[in-house]
Amino acid sequence: MLLSRLGPNRPDFEARLSEALAAAERRLRACSRDASDPRVAELTGHLTATGGKRLRTLLALLAAEFGDPSREGVVQAAVVAELVHVASLYHDDVVDRAATRHGVSTANVLWGNRMAVLGGDWLLARAARLAADLVPRALGLNADTANRLIAGQLRELAGPAPGEDPVEHYFQVTAGKTAALLAMSLGVGALQAGAPDAVVDVLIEYGEQLGIAFQIADDLLDLASPEAFTGKERGKDLLAGVPSLPVLLAREDTDPRDAELRELIEAGSAAGGDWHLRVLELFSASRATARAEAIMHQRLARAKEALESLPPLPARRTLDALCDFVAFRTG
């Protein structure tokens, strides 16, 4: 479990959080079983059943610690955040034509694209229904996040506009597709627990910065880490032509030492053979990788800085440790 990997904390805090995580997991798995048709339940419960880090669930519950974590609806807020995330995975796998996720076949492979998209839609609708019972600002935050997720996906598919900086476009896409959901998870958890508005705003800002860093870390892991560590084939995004930050930075770099890397990226599969294996090798010592790592650390520093205004609760220490965990994953 992710919580156990963030270091020891106060026993009462860890016990309370573990209990809440277990309750959220039970409710999350029960959501798909609510479908009246068992075939729909199988589809919508497919990715939930594979497990995962449950990062959004954890963030919502950590944020609730800054209010009253026992308040009614806190676990439900965490489930809403995770449902929106899982729904986005169904849609992403269709768009990316992904065949596996965490070592299992994707819904689009098992049931086809149309069913996978509708399965994601069903989960979004289920999340919206659960969110309707939350406090008004949490409900609004959920709706705004769904809009940002879709807008981010559309911007990614459309690509940069003529004359637009591709790197700036990347950050806008990432803010919508990744950071928005982490920020929402923290926001709905804190709001449902009755945390002060100023605290909610700080947690949302922390989530925005963490989300950008988290995506950059995933970009770096795609280029460097084996499947056993990431749950997906090394270089999968590179092969799919995904414009990750290291790739974009390599394209704009003019250093002669990285000329071969730029040429192979531009040529793609037309370069022939196992071109991507050579690209992965070149990335390991490239300036683009170093620059991406530096940007990731800058975002993590901003996230940690945001936490400084929060009370020194165990949850704050855990959120701080999460930043270190993201950095460690790429180290």
CA pair distance 158, 103, nearest whole angstrom: 29
Report CA-CA distances (Å) from 44 to 84, 100, 104, 111.
12, 16, 15, 11
Please write the tens of the pLDDT for every residue from 201-241: 999 999 999 999 999 999 999 898 655 444 556 787 888 78
How large is the average pLDDT for residues 168-185? 96
Provide the percentage of residues in the chain whose pLDDT is more than 70. Answer: 94
CB of 68 closer than 8 Å to CB of 146? no
In sequence order, what E strands does 53-159 have? 100-101, 104-105
Asked if pLDDT for residue 322 goes beyond 90, the answer is yes
Element (H, E) at 321: helix 314-329
Question: What is the per-residue pLDDT for 95?
Answer: 83
CA pair distance 89, 106, nearest whole angstrom: 9
CB of 187 closer than 8 Å to CB of 212? no
The packing angle between helices 197-224 and 275-283, to 10°, is 120
Asked if pLDDT for residue 11 goes beyond 80, the answer is yes
pTM: 0.91
Question: What is the per-residue pLDDT for 230?
Answer: 47
Residue given tokens 């209990």 in the structure block: 19
Dump the DSSP string for 268-290: GGGG-SSHHHHHHHHHTT-HHHH
Question: What is the per-residue pLDDT for 225?
Answer: 61
3-state secondary structure of 99: coil
Please write the tens of the pLDDT for every residue from 124-174: 999 999 999 999 999 999 999 999 999 999 999 899 999 999 999 999 999
Question: What is the per-residue pLDDT for 271?
Answer: 62
Question: What is the per-residue pLDDT for 228?
Answer: 45
How large is the average pLDDT for residues 238-250? 89
Confidence of residue 45 (pLDDT cuts 50, 70, 90): confident
- The Cβ-side half-sphere exposure at 293, using a 13 Å CA radius, reads 17
| Residues 6+ positions from 260 with CB-CB distance below 8 Å | 282
CA pair distance 275, 271, nearest whole angstrom: 6
How large is the average pLDDT for residues 103-132? 89
Question: What is the per-residue pLDDT for 232?
Answer: 55
